[in-house]
Amino acid sequence: MPPRDPDGWASCSRKAPSGRGTLLVLYKPGDERWGEIAADFWQGRLPPLESIAAGTYSQLFRGRVDGATGQEYYFKRMPPRDWRDRIKHKLGSSRARRALAAGDQLRSAGLLTPRVACVIEHRSAAGVRESVLVTETVPEARNFLELMRTPSLGILNSLPRMRALLEQIARAVGRIHAAGFYHGDMRWGNLLCQGRETYWLDNERTRRYGKLPVRLRIQNLAQMALPTDLTWTDRLRMWRWYLDTCRLDPADQESTLRGVLKEIRRRWKKRGWDQDILTEANSRMRRARSSHE
């Protein structure tokens, strides 16, 4: 039996095109058109959608559903990742439904994430077989990795613009941690920049805690430190901007930094990256860890 609708959401059912199971569609009250749009998507009757990315655990498409000038949407298809996900799907908690819940929590805390238009779940007697998260595109927004690595945007040629972007990233991470959230996949590609606003993407494994556990804070910070084309001077600046924003107890700052360095070393070694870089990183960060602007 499907779980109850999340607060502020309604649902409808459609017969699955294959005849096996049903499509359960969550949508905002008053926007019932998504029931038919979901059925059209499943049967390939929508206007052609652009394939943006395809991996083992998800496929991402982009397109319009109501004419050439209408709102653009992302459709993210998400089958179960592993046996844990399959158990959750049997219990009714699909990946898309978890992303919806986490996004609602982020927005309730004053943080930004793209608006969810609907959730589609392909259900059978065995539970959820696959789910789809449909979100609105954010106008004129780019992810931070694209901004930092696209020469034509001119950011790499402007030190003030690059540093302003790094500060925006660091303070965004500080704010999400200050609100008690752990992001399940904190990569630069999962943060969207729209001017001075930052939107969080890929929130299905994002969780909120009364007090963010140290190990989860360290995991997130180490994930953000992985790009190798960032100087260690700029990494230090980001650490300082992060501390200015995250409300981390001063007594915990040094141990957290040591933990981040240790986790960076582990991840870099796993990737076989240059050990000289690791040595220099440790030297620079250890010399600077007691200073805080």
Q: What is the CATH number of the domain that holds 229?
A: 1.10.510.10
Select the more confidently predicted residue: 91 or 286: 91
| Structural domain boundaries, residue 125 | 10-136
Over range 214-226, report the average pLDDT: 89
Q: Which of 135, 118, 105 is nearest to 26 (CA)?
A: 118
pLDDT in tens, 10-25: 999 988 876 678 899 9
Pairing status of strand 142-143 against strand 191-194: antiparallel
Of the three residues 104, 136, 168, the one that is the final residue of a domain is 136
- What's the chain's average pLDDT? 85
Whether residue 4 is contained in a domain is answered as: no
Task: Specify the pLDDT at position 290.
Answer: 47
Per-residue H/E/C for the chain? CCCCCCCCCEEEEEECCCCCCEEEEEECCCCCCHHHHHHHHHCCCCCCCEEEEECCCCEEEEEECCCCCCCEEEEEEECCCCHHHHHHHHCCCCHHHHHHHHHHHHHHCCCECCCEEEEEEEEECCEEEEEEEEEECCCCCEEHHHHHHCHHHCCCCCHHHHHHHHHHHHHHHHHHHHCCEECCCCCHHHEEEECCEEEECCCCCCEECCCCCHHHHHHHHHHHCCCCCCCHHHHHHHHHHHHHHHCCCHHHHHHHHHHHHHHHHHHHHHHCCCHHHHHHHHHHHHHHCCCCC
Residues 6+ apart with CB under 8 A from 118: 25, 26, 27, 31, 34, 37, 38, 134
pLDDT of residue 292: 41
Q: Encode pLDDT of 209-218 as tens digits.
A: 999 999 999 9
Of 116, 136, 156, which closes a domain? 136
CATH of the domain at 31: 3.30.200
pLDDT single digits (tens) 56-96: 889 999 999 876 667 899 999 998 877 777 777 676 688 99
Per-residue pLDDT reduced to its tens digit, 230-239? 777 888 899 9
Which pLDDT band, with edges at 50, 70 and 90, does 227 fall under? Answer: low
Based on the domain organization, do 261 and 151 belong to the same domain? yes
- Asked whether residue 200 falls in the same domain as residue 71, the answer is no
pLDDT tens digits, one per residue of 163-198? 899 999 999 999 999 999 999 999 889 999 999 999
pLDDT band of residue 52 (cuts 50, 70, 90) is: very high
284 and 171 belong to one structural domain: yes
Do 183 and 206 have their domain in common? yes
- Our count of domains for the chain comes to 2
Last residue of a domain, one of 112, 136, 160: 136
Which tens digits make up the pLDDT trace of 239-283? Answer: 999 999 998 999 999 999 999 988 888 887 777 765 555 555 555
Q: Work out the widest C-alpha separation in the chain, in whole angstroms.
A: 64
The verdict on 279 and 154 lying in the same domain is yes
Share of the chain above pLDDT 90, in %: 53
